[in-house]
Structure 1
Amino acid sequence: MLIKVYGSAVFGIEATTIVIEVNVDRGIGYHLVGLPDNAIKESNFRIAAALQNIGFKIPGKKITINMAPADLRKEGSAYDLPLALGILAASDQIKSKNIADYLIMGELSLDGSVQPIKGALPIAIKAQEEGFKGMILPEANAKEAAVVDGLCVYGVNNIEEVIAFFDTEKPLDQTTIEVEHEFNRLSDYPEFDFSDVMGQETIKRCMEIAAAGGHNIILIGPPGAGKTMLAKRLPSILPPMTLQEALETTKIHSVLGKVNNMGLMNQRPFRSPHHTISSAALVGGGSYPQPGEISLSHNGVLFLDELPEFERRVLEVLRQPMEDREVTIARAKYAVTYPSSFMLVASMNPSPGGYFNDPDAPVTSSPAEMQRYLGKISGPLLDRIDIHIEVTPVPFEKLSDQRKGESSLDIRKRVISARKIQSHRFSQIDWVHYNAQMGTKLIRKHCVLDEPCKTLLKNAMQRLNLSARAYDRILKVARTIADLEGNDNISQAHISEAIQYRSLDREGWLG
């Protein structure tokens, strides 16, 4: 008897429906075809033990299973549940009248319990698109899949529940969540708040500008000046994610199984990889490509602490994703594309010893040592960072001041106002939402300068020997500063402030 059960495979952040055809006939043997990997080939041992422990068995007949499309590589243990149900239905041990109406995924333990899977959200989206009546998957993934409207999602803890559902029509509990409620869950009291930072008003201003326009920023300063402390508080002033951004972010984290039954992710991600990270872990890769840290930072912040300590070849892989806001990982037979629209926040010491031009410093470095240290970061990479700012140590008077600084919530209000201006400005363009995403044409359209501004910028370009890319970055930052002030036009003050945030272009830094 031939039975068809439906599962799904995830490639990149998109799912493809897999038809599991199970045929039980006279003879003896177990044949699993359709490019399964080792985890799927081993499933017959898990299935046999699980069925035996709940009172069923694999029939002693010839079992042929095809996973179509047969030329598409399948991987992982999430096909255990549909394979087991297909075998039971094809051997007439359970009824199968409406089994094809449901998309089924889950890994089996030897006692018949169902373990979590990866990629539940993209699979649920695909099931809804293809008109399945419902989806059956592990209880631990049910909230994640229930985000999708128009699809009945059933979370199960044991294969016996699924068997009873099909065989005796015992109903399963449907998982439902209020998407708007999940999306609007937002803490008004962030763990890291800018009110904890003493002094550093100039740096706070830079962080506000970076958050308002989505600009990349690098902090340069001696140890203990507060670079890491400031960076960790940046997410607290970023605007809330839109529903579309929340879905995109959740899909990426779902592929790696990092959603943890929380439903929809409503907080912008903050990723801080160690400087020993490999280029594959940062950008994504592997035999079966998986998203890396830059994709896990999508719609959030990627923080690279002690930037010169990262291997240069690792940093260089950032250049293309920072421009294109996506990364494509190619293999011999296919390629997958992951979105990677992130804010890069980097920090670094100005020299190996951590101090620069400070006669009272405990450790000093020669100019040659400092140049070698800064030379670990390429000019093209620094060009792609909009804001360079020096962080100086906080004096004792500021550290001992008992007064609280401005809170993240107050700064966030101004950031949200500026983002609203940008959202209205780019409302007709699907792929641009804030100033940092502007291309050359949009810069020329929305960053028009009068003659005094042009003269000021021309003098800065000639004096600092700035590149064409740095020119564009200055215009973007100036546009954001104007938006924060609610001005339609860019003034000389905006241009001057934006130029000040190019510290590493000034004489005495990179030669």
Structure 2
Amino acid sequence: MLAKVLSSALLGIDAIMVDVEVDIAQGLPQFATVGLPDGAVKESKDRVKSALKNSGYEFPNRKITVNLAPADVRKEGAAFDLPISIGIMAATGVVKSDHLKKYLLLGELSLDGGVKPVRGCLSVAVAAKNAGLAGIIVPEENAREGAVVEGIEVIGVSELAQVVEFLNGERPVIPCVVDVQQLFRQNLDHSDDFSEVKGQEHAKRALEVAAAGGHNILMIGPPGSGKTMLARRIPSILPTMSFNEAIETSKIYSVMGLLDRDRALVSGRPFRSPHHTISDIGLIGGGNTPKPGEVSLSHNGVLFLDELPEFKKHVLEVLRQPLEDGKVTISRALTSLTYPSRIMLVTAMNPCPCGYLGDPLHQCSCTPVMIHRYRSRISGPLLDRIDIHIEVPAVKYRDLADRSDGESSAAIAGRVELSRNRQLERFKGTKVHCNAQMTPRFIKKYCEPDAAGQKMLEMVTDRLGLSARTYTRILKVARTVADLEGSETIRENHISEAIQYRSLDRKTI
């Protein structure tokens, strides 16, 4: 007696179809699982046996072989419990096989027959839709997550008996439906607003430019100057996520099991702020069982690294590839996984170890050697990949005592949105979404300054000895400044402002 049930396995943030084949033959009682299963999959035989018996079904006392195809892909987790149990009952004739070709099954079983939630349901729903299936049968807690994908039935179940009755046509289950627009609106309200920030107009302008072009930014200033406060308000001025961006980001959170069960969709720009003690695997991803790191959890959002020089140097160096490519590739003996990491990197640091270098009100106690050692923890190649460096001075009493509100995030976001729309129109039909992602071909085409701008750029490049990468960063930022102004031509004032955002380079004049 042979039965086949459709299921799925995760490969990176995507899901692939898996055929769960169950064969029950005469012979000594045995339960064998083949097809490259991990420990959790092998242990499913005990969970399945108890779940069947405690749900009132008979467990066949024969030789049972379960094959998970394709056999060359490693199967992980307990999500195969439900398809294996249904496969056994289909092979014994308890479950009719009519609907097994139409639905994909996924779920972990408890010993009493309950169906527990699993990770990656959103990716599975996308894979099932692409495969042309009628729907998926998943744990009730995962139903809203899968229902975000339109055009496919998502059947949420809470116990094994409910699945059996549904497949046999004895108990109809209403598919889960969610209001995607409502899910979007839930995440659009930001608790932090730029109107709460006192002073720091220069820093606010730099953050507006960074948000408008998707540029990486480094803020340098003494303790208490508001660097973290400014960084936490950046998502409030970033453009609204598109549906495709929301799905792509939500898939990462779904695979990690971090997706909110009530909201089921990450529609607001992510903001991640890992501690400086994080490891390279925690930041980039990987491990024995590869998982996305903080840089992928920040996809389409902001990765904020506070106290940048305190991070281990080798941890910071692994950021170089994802900042350039917008993705992280993790290679293992059996497979190679790619996680998206298109992020806006926001970093902050003190000017020196004590934090008060250049502060007129505090005495700096650091020697030149200490300052050099502190700053050398950040390599030149990494700094070259950060488009904007700005100084954030201590806030003066006059600004702190000012009772009037500053410019709101909504007003700044309006200008950023207009600038991004210009960029999307400019790069229509390409893989570039904003100015920060421009390749040399696009820089040559769209970043040609006028005569006065070229003269200023030539003079500054020669005086500072800028690298080729820094030169292109200035052009990209100038392009964004021009877009905020609504100008198609990059003028001298745009170049001048872009140069002002390279404070670490200007120190070497």
Q: TM-score, normalised by structure 1?
A: 0.97
Shift of 1:64: 1.1
SS in structure 1 of the partner of residue 101 of structure 2: helix
Q: Distance in 1 between matches of 2:294 and 2:286?
A: 11
Q: Distance in 2 between matches of 1:343 and 1:403?
A: 30
**What does 1:168-179 align with in structure 2 at a 5 Å threshold?**
168-179=169-180
Mapped pair 1:488 → 2:467 = no
Q: Is residue 141–residue 260 contact of structure 1 (8 Å, CA) maintained in 2?
A: no
Unaligned segments of structure 2, at least 5 residues: none
2:212 alignment partner AA: A
**What does 1:284-299 align with in structure 2 at a 5 Å threshold?**
284-299=285-300
Identify the residue that residue 479 of structure 1 maps to in structure 2. 479
Identify the residue that residue 35 of structure 1 maps to in structure 2. 36
1:7 alignment partner AA: S
SS in structure 2 of the partner of residue 267 of structure 1: coil
Instruction: Show CA shifts across 1:327-347 (max 9, x none).
Output: 111111210111111000000
Q: Distance in 1 between matches of 2:359 and 2:443?
A: 40
Q: Distance in 2 between matches of 1:500 and 1:253?
A: 38
Question: Which shifted more, 42-51 or 207-216?
Answer: 42-51
Mapped pair 1:435 → 2:435 = yes
1:215 alignment partner AA: H
Shift of 1:357: 3.1
Identify the residue that residue 280 of structure 1 maps to in structure 2. 281
Identify the residue that residue 468 of structure 1 maps to in structure 2. 468
Shift of 1:93: 2.9
2:506 alignment partner AA: R
SS in structure 2 of the partner of residue 174 of structure 1: coil
Q: Is residue 450–residue 489 contact of structure 2 (8 Å, CA) maintained in 1?
A: no
SS in structure 2 of the partner of residue 236 of structure 1: helix
SS in structure 2 of the partner of residue 355 of structure 1: coil
Identify the residue that residue 397 of structure 1 maps to in structure 2. 398
Q: Is residue 329–residue 339 contact of structure 2 (8 Å, CA) maintained in 1?
A: yes
Q: Is residue 32–residue 64 contact of structure 1 (8 Å, CA) maintained in 2?
A: yes
Shift of 1:187: 3.4
Q: Is residue 225–residue 392 contact of structure 2 (8 Å, CA) maintained in 1?
A: yes
SS in structure 2 of the partner of residue 100 of structure 1: coil
Unaligned segments of structure 1, at least 5 residues: none
Q: Distance in 1 between matches of 2:314 and 2:187?
A: 38
**What does 1:1-20 align with in structure 2 at a 5 Å threshold?**
1-20=1-20
Identify the residue that residue 242 of structure 1 maps to in structure 2. 242
2:393 alignment partner AA: T
Shift of 1:183: 3.1
SS in structure 1 of the partner of residue 288 of structure 2: coil
Identify the residue that residue 225 of structure 2 maps to in structure 1. 225
Question: Which shifted more, 215-224 or 124-133?
Answer: 124-133
Mapped pair 1:332 → 2:326 = no
Question: Which shifted more, 350-359 or 367-376?
Answer: 350-359
Shift of 1:381: 0.3
Shift of 1:177: 1.8
Identify the residue that residue 198 of structure 2 maps to in structure 1. 198
SS in structure 1 of the partner of residue 324 of structure 2: helix
Q: Distance in 2 between matches of 1:337 and 1:265?
A: 20
2:232 alignment partner AA: K
Shift of 1:185: 4.1
Q: Is residue 188–residue 268 contact of structure 2 (8 Å, CA) maintained in 1?
A: no
Alignment CA distance shift 1:154-1:475 (3 Å): same
Q: Distance in 2 between matches of 1:358 and 1:3?
A: 75
**What does 1:305-384 align with in structure 2 at a 5 Å threshold?**
305-358=306-359, 360-361=361-362, 363-384=364-385
Question: Which shifted more, 443-452 or 222-231?
Answer: 443-452
Q: Distance in 1 between matches of 2:507 and 2:179?
A: 56
Shift of 1:169: 2.7
Instruction: Show CA shifts across 1:341-374 (max 9, x none).
Output: 1000000001111111346425521111000000
Q: Is residue 217–residue 345 contact of structure 1 (8 Å, CA) maintained in 2?
A: yes
Q: Is residue 24–residue 64 contact of structure 1 (8 Å, CA) maintained in 2?
A: yes
Question: Which shifted more, 121-130 or 217-226?
Answer: 121-130
Q: Is residue 140–residue 260 contact of structure 1 (8 Å, CA) maintained in 2?
A: no
Q: Distance in 2 between matches of 1:436 and 1:113?
A: 49
2:504 alignment partner AA: L
Q: Distance in 1 between matches of 2:18 and 2:406?
A: 56
Q: Distance in 1 between matches of 2:471 and 2:266?
A: 36
Instruction: Show CA shifts across 1:24-70 (max 9, x none).
Output: 12122111111111001111111122222221232111111111112
Q: Distance in 2 between matches of 1:397 and 1:134?
A: 62
Alignment CA distance shift 1:412-1:29 (3 Å): same
Identify the residue that residue 498 of structure 1 maps to in structure 2. 498
Mapped pair 1:45 → 2:46 = yes
Instruction: Show CA shifts across 1:406-447 (max 9, x none).
Output: 110111111101111111111121x11111110111011001
Identify the residue that residue 64 of structure 1 maps to in structure 2. 65
Mapped pair 1:101 → 2:102 = yes
Q: Distance in 1 between matches of 2:95 and 2:341?
A: 46
Q: Distance in 1 between matches of 2:453 and 2:360?
A: 38
Q: Is residue 296–residue 339 contact of structure 2 (8 Å, CA) maintained in 1?
A: yes
Mapped pair 1:166 → 2:132 = no
Q: Distance in 2 between matches of 1:180 and 1:193?
A: 23
1:309 alignment partner AA: E
RMSD: 1.4
1:142 alignment partner AA: A
1:467 alignment partner AA: S
Q: Is residue 118–residue 254 contact of structure 1 (8 Å, CA) maintained in 2?
A: yes
Q: Distance in 2 between matches of 1:360 and 1:290?
A: 47
Q: Distance in 2 between matches of 1:236 and 1:148?
A: 26
Identify the residue that residue 507 of structure 1 maps to in structure 2. 507
Q: Distance in 2 between matches of 1:79 and 1:245?
A: 29
SS in structure 2 of the partner of residue 385 of structure 1: coil
Identify the residue that residue 263 of structure 1 maps to in structure 2. 264
Q: Is residue 187–residue 266 contact of structure 2 (8 Å, CA) maintained in 1?
A: no
Shift of 1:141: 1.1
Identify the residue that residue 119 of structure 2 maps to in structure 1. 118
Q: Distance in 2 between matches of 1:185 and 1:448?
A: 42
Where do 4+ consecutive residues of structure 1 move more than 6 Å? Answer: none
Q: Is residue 101–residue 132 contact of structure 1 (8 Å, CA) maintained in 2?
A: yes
Q: Is residue 107–residue 116 contact of structure 1 (8 Å, CA) maintained in 2?
A: yes
Shift of 1:95: 2.9
**What does 1:138-177 align with in structure 2 at a 5 Å threshold?**
138-177=139-178
Q: Is residue 447–residue 490 contact of structure 1 (8 Å, CA) maintained in 2?
A: yes
Q: TM-score, normalised by structure 2?
A: 0.97
Q: Is residue 5–residue 21 contact of structure 1 (8 Å, CA) maintained in 2?
A: yes
1:459 alignment partner AA: M
Q: Distance in 2 between matches of 1:151 and 1:187?
A: 26
Mapped pair 1:76 → 2:80 = no
Q: Is residue 464–residue 507 contact of structure 1 (8 Å, CA) maintained in 2?
A: no
